[in-house]
Amino acid sequence: MSNLSNTGVVVSVRGSVVDIRFDGDLPPIHSVLRAGQEERIIIEVLAQHDAHHVRGIALTPTQGLARGTVVRDTGGPLKAPAGKELLSRMFDVFGNTIDRKAAVSDVQWRSVHHAPPPLARRSTKSEIFETGIKIIDVLMPLERGGKAGLFGGAGVGKTVLLTEMIHNMIGNQQGVSIFCGIGERCREGEELYRDMKEAGVLPNMVMVFGQMNEPPGARFRVGHVALTMAEYFRDDEHRDVLLLIDNIFRFIQAGMEISGLMGQMPSRLGYQPTMGTELSGLEERIANTDTGAITSIQAVYVPADDFTDPAAVHTFSHLSASIVLSRKRAGEGLYPAIDPLQSSSKMATPGIVGERHYRLAQEIRHTLAQYAELKDIIAMLGLEQLAPEDRNVVARARHLERFFTQPFFTTEQFTGLKGKLVSLEDALDGCERILRDDFKDYPENSLYMIGTIDEAKEKIKPETKLQPEIEHVADTHAS
């Protein structure tokens, strides 16, 4: 309940850190305090220093805040809206709409601080989360209720891949998608909103943004707000949720800024000493229960491409699959530009995906790895100098690489190619037939940007029809 009588006074302001004196009851940790004109400045209590002083971090800019300013204790923590009205809308960390439409009315407001679901309520069976994207489903299957990391630089297709997964999730599984932008550029948020609208996936989607220019407190809490919304759809509506976080590194970065401002002693490389706890508090809430699942795909920025960086190490420990995007493959036009040899998944075991799928995935990796080793020889001596068996390996690998490309629904307007959703069974069938050399005589481009393997036959039908006519013309000339 709102505690109107409990007011305090600002005693010091240092950037986002505010110290406040209360003569009455001290507000508990995580309480939200309001100050300034029209109570626009919002502060979250993070420490109680003595019987009369608390230290908080401002979630909004602190311009105009001065010593002696009266601060009101709202009597509760930061809250996020929960309800059906959230769909197709865009929010900030306080649950205000930022899409220039009317505010949401018919919603409940829930605390953003929740414990993860108890073990008794968690689902123990490992299920595959099918994306309809061949290379992911075959080589690095995602876990329903699991967490997958998407590692990649700028311009290699992270957002396109996320957008496609949102499209497939909504079209295929009647789920809800929640996009959480942590430390996003405002341009990215605006572009994503427009892309989603054009792709027609907005009605089953919620977007939450904590932009780059906002104080660290807001960026640090926006992930908790998105998770509170996701938990509503999982626990109350019993729906599967796809939670996309872009970028989890910025969450750690915001925590690092807060820790420094609060005067905590930094640990290795300047990270906050509580980094592991903070990340676990967020990640452990992403789980599948007896009522539904929250499956998360998180974009991960790796500082200076150093995978031993504490931020990358801590993030890795929570992931059940990692998808690595490669600039080289994007340059070759092999989209989605996923590196099949660097990406991996804990789900790719015979006990979970089955013996046949596991065996095929291993054989595909082996073929692609052999091709990677032979590339240097081919570059120096040419394909003709290879042994016949090696030449077959190269042909198979190149056919597989092209079969793993796929036209996306979300890029139809750019490529002019109709998007394709491919079931796991069709994808496995195609890979098996390529490894059996069924498509040995087919040109490589017949497998490029197709859905199921049978489309390759459709692609070269006109050419085969021309063949007898050409032979007939040659015969008449000879006679």
The residues annotated as belonging to the active site are: 158, 184-185
SS (H, E, C) the chain: CCCCCCEEEEEEEECCEEEEEECCCCCCCCEEEEECHHHCEEEEEEEECCCCEEEEEECCCCCCCCCCCEEEEEEEECEEEECHHHCCEEECCCCCECCCCCCCCCCEEEECCCCCCCHHHECCCCCEECCCCHHHHHHCCEECCCEEEEECCCCCCHHHHHHHHHHHHHHHHCCEEEEEEEEECHHHHHHHHHHHHHHCCHHHEEEEEEECCCCHHHHHHHHHHHHHHHHHHHHCCCCCEEEEEECHHHHHHHHHHHHHHCCCCCCHHHCCCCHHHHHHHHHCCCCEECCCEEEEEEEECCHHHCCCCHHHHHHHCCCCEEEEECHHHHHCCCCCCECCCCCEECCCCHHHHCHHHHHHHHHHHHHHHHHHHHHHHHHHHCHHHCCHHHHHHHHHHHHHHHHCCCCCHHHHHHHCCCCCCCCHHHHHHHHHHHHCCCCCCCCHHHHCCCCCCCHHHHHHHHHHHHHHHHHHHHHHHHC
Instruction: Report the alpha-carbon distance of residue 367 to residue 364 in Å, rounded.
Output: 5
User: Residue 180 in contact with residue 226, Cβ under 8 Å?
Assistant: yes
User: Residue 205 in contact with residue 87, Cβ under 8 Å?
Assistant: yes
Q: Which residue has the tokens 């991960």?
A: 300
Backbone φ/ψ region at 207: left (φ over 0), alpha (ψ -120 to 50), beta: beta
User: Residue 210 in contact with residue 219, Cβ under 8 Å?
Assistant: yes
What phi and psi, each to the nearest 5 degrees, are found at residue 113? Answer: -100, 110
